[in-house]
Amino acid sequence: MKKRSLALFLVATLSMGTLIGCGDSDKSGDSNASGSSSESTENNKKGDKIKIGATIYKYDDNFMSYLRRGIEKAVKSKDVDLIINDSQNDQAKQLEQIDTMIAKGVNVLAINLVDPKAAPSVIEKAKQNDLPVVFFNKEPDENVMKSYDKVWYVGTDSKESGVIQGKLMIDDWKANPEWDKNGDGKVQYVMLKGEPGHPDAEARTQYSVEEFKNAGIDTEELAIDTGMWDAAKATEKMDAWVSKSGEAIELVICNNDGMALGALSSIEKAGYNIPIYGVDAIPEVLEKIKADKIAGSVLNDSKGQAEAVVNLAVNVANGKDPLEGTESKLDDKKAVRVPYVGINKANVNIAEETYK
C-alpha cells in the first residue's frame, strides 16, 4: 500500500539524519500546513511562528480523517505552522514521532493517542521540554490529566452520544410497530462496539441500551462484539450474525458510522432490511440516511473539535489563557467538550453544515 512505502520513506529519511521540517513538501506522509504569514504574535518572544506538533492515531479511520482535515483547515486562519503525523495505530511509532517533533522545535503538542493509557509517556516528554500538550479524541485518565499543569483535553462527553443514540432509536421504535418483527414487545438487537477500553466505545455501548430500559422497553442482546471502529471488521461480524440469525435481528446498534456502513453492506448483501444506527454523522452516512438505508446517527462535530484543538494549542503556546478568544468552557477535568447532536432524515442539513 502507498502508506507503507511512505512510512519506509520516512524511516529512510530520518535515518539519514534529515528532519522533515516545516514547509517541506508532503512526501513523508506527514503534512505541513501553514497559516497566513502575517506578523508573528506578540507573546511569541523569539518572533518565530508558533509550531504545532500533532499526531492522529491513524489516518485510516473514517472519523479521524475529518477531524484531521478540520485541523488542517483551522490552522489556515492562524499565523502558525503545523506538523501532523499518521501514527498508523502504533503507539511506539507515535512516541518516536513526538521525539522528532520536539527535536524540530515545536511549541506545543496536539496528540490523538493511539492508546489512551500511553498519556503518561507523552506527558513525561512534554515536561522535560516544558511544552504544553493538548490531547484530543482519546481521553486520558483523570489522575493523568492532573499530573501536569500544562495539559488539556478536547473531545466530547462520551455518555451524551449513547443517550442521544438511544433516544433516536426509541422514537423510531415507537413510531414503527412493524420493527418488532416477532411481536414480543422486546427489541432483539446486535451491537457493534468500538475499540474496547476507549471511553467513547464503553459509554456508547452502555448508555444507548440503558435508554431503552429508562423508557420501559425490554431489550434482548442477540450478539455483541467489537468491530474496532472499522467498516471491514464490522462487515465480517455482521456477515456471521446475519447468516446465523438474520430473521431475528430487529435493530443494529453501532458505536460509530464506519461500522454502520460495514453492517449495511453485509445486510444489503443478505437481502435484509434492518434499521441501523451509528455515531459521527460523517458525510458518507448522511447520504445513506437521505436514501433511507441508515436510520440515524449522532453528530460528532469534527469541525468544532478541530477548531477547539487549534485555538487551545495556539493560546497555550503563546502563554495566553487557554480559552482566550473562544466561547469554549473547560470542565473540572481540564477538558473542552463539544456537544453531540442527534441526526436523522429530518435534520441531516445540520450535520452537512459542519463539513462545508
- The site for ligand BGC (CB under 6 A) is made up of 61-64, 137-138, 198, 200, 229, 256, 258, 279-280, 300
Of 198 and 337, nearer to ligand BGC (C-beta) is 198
Of 119 and 317, nearer to ligand BGC (C-beta) is 119
Interaction partner, residue 180 (Ca ion, ligand BGC, none; CB < 5-8 Å by kind): Ca ion
Give residues with Cβ within 8 angstroms of 283, minimum separation 6. Answer: 66, 352, 355
Nearest to 140 by CA among 111, 100, 99, 162: 111
184 is a contact residue toward Ca ion (CB under 5 A): yes
What are phi and psi for residue 52, nearest 5 degrees? Answer: -100, 130
179 is a contact residue toward Ca ion (CB under 5 A): no
Interaction partner, residue 186 (ligand BGC, Ca ion, none; CB < 5-8 Å by kind): Ca ion
What are phi and psi for residue 200, nearest 5 degrees? Answer: -65, -40
Number of residues assigned to the chain:
356
Residue 318, judged by CB atoms within 10 A of its CB (0-12, 13-18, 19+), counts as buried
222 is a contact residue toward Ca ion (CB under 5 A): no
Closest distance to ligand BGC from the beta carbon of 279 (Å): 5
CA 128 to chain centre: 28
State the cell numbers at 279.
Answer: 455515531
**Of 93-101, 186-194, 231-239, 318-326, which part binds Ca ion (CB under 5 A)?**
186-194
Quote the CA–CA distance of 21 and 28 in Å, as a whole number.
Answer: 11
Interaction partner, residue 256 (ligand BGC, Ca ion, none; CB < 5-8 Å by kind): ligand BGC
Closest distance to ligand BGC from the beta carbon of 180 (Å): 28
Closest distance to ligand BGC from the beta carbon of 137 (Å): 5
Per DSSP, the three-state class of 123 is helix
State the cell numbers at 174.
Answer: 415507537
Closest distance to ligand BGC from the beta carbon of 305 (Å): 9
Closest distance to Ca ion from the beta carbon of 188 (Å): 5
- Other Cβ atoms closer than 10 A to 233: 17
Which residues of the chain form contacts with Ca ion (CB under 5 A)? 180, 182, 184, 186, 188
